[in-house]
Amino acid sequence: MKVAIVAAMQEELAPFRQHFGAKQLVFEQAKTRIEAVNPPEGTGISQLYLVESGIGKANAAACAAWLLSQVGPDLVINTGSTGCFEPSVALGDVVISDRFVYSDVDATGFNYAWGQVPQMPAHYPVAADLLTNLLAHFQGAGKSYQVHVGTIATSDSFMSDPQRVAEILERQPGLLAS
């Protein structure tokens, strides 16, 4: 199985680079940088890639296109820092999405749900078997962090304005992070 771990910034990939050690540059274009590293033994991962995408949806989309064309991974794991809507989530906790939504799309004038891109689903669920496997991996005794599962939103805005956060939570109740 080919696995790619994607983060927006080099600072978010630093722990993975330190953990996996030697890397080989596979592809570099604009903000996207794809590096091959040695996969951990006994995991079923035959090839492992660390990917820096750049910040924002446009960079993420370009990165995804290049990643698919250059590597063709079986599984893409997006990691990094996130803004959180839930006060019980602490710095360093793991946030796992059970579904993804947009928090800044408004096509309600065309009879779409808030956050729904026209002609697309209102939300994007995570496959149940993948969610089960992720939870099994991250949960367990002796962990120095808590695991939180819920809806994660994508947005082109950083959520620093409390009024904007309140408006988004009113439209998308139950959001865990963005």
Q: What is the pLDDT of residues 59-95, one digit of tens each?
A: 999 999 999 999 999 989 888 877 888 889 988 888 9
Alpha helices in 7-161 (DSSP H): 10-20, 57-70, 128-138
**Based on the domain organization, do 65 and 90 belong to the same domain?**
no
- What's the CA gap between 162 and 49, in Å, rounded? 37
**Based on the domain organization, do 162 and 90 belong to the same domain?**
yes
> How much is the pTM?
0.82
Domain count, the chain: 2
10 Å Cβ neighbour count for 63?
Answer: 24
Q: Which two tokens stand for residue 122?
A: 């209102």
- Per-residue model confidence (pLDDT) at position 51: 97
**Based on the domain organization, do 21 and 41 belong to the same domain?**
yes
Q: Which domain holds residue 67?
A: 1-80
Query: Binning pLDDT at 50, 70 and 90, where does residue 139 land?
Result: confident
Q: What is the pLDDT of residues 28-59, one digit of tens each?
A: 999 999 999 999 888 889 999 999 999 988 99
- Per-residue model confidence (pLDDT) at position 80: 84
**Based on the domain organization, do 105 and 177 belong to the same domain?**
yes
**Higher per-residue pLDDT: 137 or 128:** 128
Q: What is the pLDDT of residues 3-25, one digit of tens each?
A: 999 999 999 999 999 999 889 99
- Per-residue model confidence (pLDDT) at position 141: 64
Question: Kind of pairing, strands 47-52 and 32-37?
Answer: antiparallel
Domain stop point among 29, 54, 80: 80
- Which CATH number belongs to the domain containing residue 118 in this structure? 3.40.50.1580
**Based on the domain organization, do 41 and 68 belong to the same domain?**
yes
* Contact between residue 119 and residue 101 where contact means Cβ atoms under 8 Å apart: no
